[in-house]
Structure 1
């Protein structure tokens, strides 16, 4: 796993093998950030990273100048790894919370410029994520919700759906406020 842009560009991270994760591949992450590069200014945005796992996406946004990155996962091992890695590399804008994602979303009131969710592919509640985000107004004006999911899954029935980009077995679905 490596950081592909920003102040930590090129940094290689080696998370423990025993973390319960399926990290976004470098190829897919690079494609995602190339798309975002043409849509948003990274500096000073607020990001919510759901199902953050190793923190791969959180580090990328922090490296590119995000003002605030909230990383949420239910695994204490993932949380501890992100805390340690953030501290070691001076990523003070990353705040980490251990929580069930759906409970966290129900309690969250702050809006974000960008919300990224990378749930386990076999999670049945993936289509609930955009519903909760938009029902609770968790995106700022022109904010983006991006959900990584299996390519065979279709999330286009939500009214805020914009597009789906496929990268092998993984896809990113984009929703805009």
Structure 2
């Protein structure tokens, strides 16, 4: 796993082979971040990374200069890996929440400029996540939700739908 651009550009982290998480491919990550660039001023951005997995997105967000990144990851080994990666880069503007995303969403009282959600594609509640984020009012005005999902999901009729991007088997829907 590597960081594509920013102050930590080129840093590599070896993901343990035992991990179940699949990090977003470099190709898809680079392309979706190019899209996000048109919507975000990184230095002013507070970001939330849901289903953080390997921490790839959180690391990329920090590298690009986000003022704060909160990562939520339930798996103990994955959370430990994310913590180790953050220690290696000396991140002091990162908070790791070890816990269930759905519980976190219910109890969160903070709003974010950017929320990136990459749930397991087979997650039964996957389609409910955008609705929950808007129901709990977690985005700032003009905030952006980037939702990674499989090809079988279509959110184009969602009231907050902004655009859809597809990079191979990786799909992103953006909401505002």
TM-score, normalised relative to structure 1? 0.96
Inter-partner Cα distance in structure 2 for 1:172 and 1:163: 8
- Aligned-pair CA distance for 1:13: 1.3
Inter-partner Cα distance in structure 1 for 2:91 and 2:156: 35
Cross-structure match for 1:48: 48
Inter-partner Cα distance in structure 2 for 1:168 and 1:19: 22
Inter-partner Cα distance in structure 2 for 1:117 and 1:36: 14
Secondary structure (helix, strand or coil) at the match of 2:23 reads: coil
1:152-173 residue CA offsets vs partner (Å, 9 max, x unmatched): 2112232001111011111000
Inter-partner Cα distance in structure 1 for 2:168 and 2:107: 34
- Aligned-pair CA distance for 1:20: 2.0
Moved over 3 A (4+): none
Cross-structure match for 1:161: 161
Cross-structure match for 1:109: 109
Secondary structure (helix, strand or coil) at the match of 1:6 reads: coil
Cross-structure match for 1:128: 128
* CA RMSD between the two structures: 0.9
Q: What runs of 5+ residues in structure 1 fail to find an aligned partner?
A: none
Alignment of 1:73 with 2:73, yes or no, is yes
